[in-house]
Amino acid sequence: MTAERFRVWVSTVLIVGVGVSAALVTAGFVSGLIVGWTGSLVGAAPGTAAPTDFSAMLAGLGALRPIALAQAGLLVLVATPVIRVAVSLVAFVLERDRLYAAVTAAVLGLLLLSLLVVR
């Protein structure tokens, strides 16, 4: 893999991640102005989830709740650097660069540990 191709992979992940995140957050806030923060774009009953409670996000996305759209955007934004590190790991493995692959795997492990275990 060439350095240019590696750069393209990484930049694509970052551009798509930030773009999708911005679109979801914007859709959440705009729809919140239309139906209210706990309302629904499809007429479902008002939700009771707090903005910091992500446990009802999937159900909220099904009901097109503005808060769930914004939460999904924030999760995509947080996941973007993690995916970037994972793409880097794949690139280093394809290049057979064991040192950088090991360091990148350690960084990815720490990122996942901090996201999934530490509360």
On the question of pLDDT at 81 being above 90, the answer is yes
This prediction's pTM: 0.80
If you average pLDDT over residues 57-72, what whole number do you get?
A: 85
Instruction: Please identify which residue in the block is written with the tokens 């493995």.
Output: 93
- Output the average pLDDT for the chain: 86
Res 42: pLDDT:
65
On the question of pLDDT at 104 being above 70, the answer is yes
pLDDT tens by residue, 35-55:
877 776 666 666 666 666 677
Domain ranges of the chain: 3-116
On the question of pLDDT at 77 being above 80, the answer is yes
Res 110: pLDDT:
93
pLDDT tens by residue, 6-29:
889 889 999 999 999 999 999 999
Res 79: pLDDT:
92
On the question of pLDDT at 88 being above 70, the answer is yes
On the question of pLDDT at 119 being above 70, the answer is no
- Please enumerate, as own/partner, the contacts of 63-68 that have beta carbons within 8 Å and a separation of 24 or more: 64/31, 64/40, 65/38, 65/39, 65/40, 65/41, 66/27, 66/28, 66/29, 66/31, 66/32, 66/34, 66/35, 66/36, 66/37, 66/39, 66/41, 67/28, 67/32, 67/37, 67/38, 68/28
